[in-house]
Amino acid sequence: MIEIRFHGRGGQGAVTSAELLALAAIWEGKYAQAFPSFGPERRGAPVVAFCRIDDAPIRIRANIYEPDIVVVLDASLLKIVNVAAGLKPNGIVVTTSKDSPEKVKESLKVKNRVGVVNADKIAMEVLGLPITNTTMLGSVVKASGLVKKESFIPSFKERFGRIADKNISAFERAYQETVII
């Protein structure tokens, strides 16, 4: 089973990212679940969402404390939240940042692989909004190979309707621009 923990801020789409990743896995015939973990936080407050993917039915329903993959949708969280807490030794952190992957890895103090893309820039240029959820999914796919890129298209079209193509473009661009060390 692969367990993914998403860190974001309220309104950035961390919950939507987890759901879309689960739907892509289901589209491929895998088992998946996605769920948020937040209380009465307001827009902009740190939030966490989770996703599990497996080839067998998933029976566990607890939060993820030892993820295989950590996804960070807001670079400011790297300084205020220990996003790498519990990350498995062979796990990967995938984040948006203007900084180099080397600098991000150094600041996180991890030996794990790190994938970095400037998702904020891509989201603003392609979507016109600083919402990095679909953009970061492209980065996750590049860093992990967890699901195929094409598996996101049906759920993007259903979820985003007339703006699905913009989200697909942001996803694809992040896939291309992600650097992994």
Residue 115 CA, distance from chain mean position: 11
What CA–CA distance (Å, rounded) separates 73 from 13? 8
Residue 47 has pLDDT above 80, yes or no: yes
Cβ 87 vs Cβ 93: under 8 Å:
yes
Q: What is the per-residue pLDDT across 81-97, written as a single tens digit (0 to 9) for each?
A: 999 999 999 999 999 99
Q: Predicted confidence band at 41 (pLDDT cuts at 50, 70, 90)?
A: low
Residue 40 has pLDDT above 80, yes or no: no
CATH of the domain at 83: 3.40.920.10
In the chain, how many domains are there?
Answer: 1
Computed over every residue of the chain, the mean pLDDT equals: 95
φ, ψ dihedrals at 96, nearest 5°: -90, 140
pTM: 0.94
For residue 50, give its domain range.
Answer: 2-180
- The amino acid present at 119, given as its one-letter code, is A
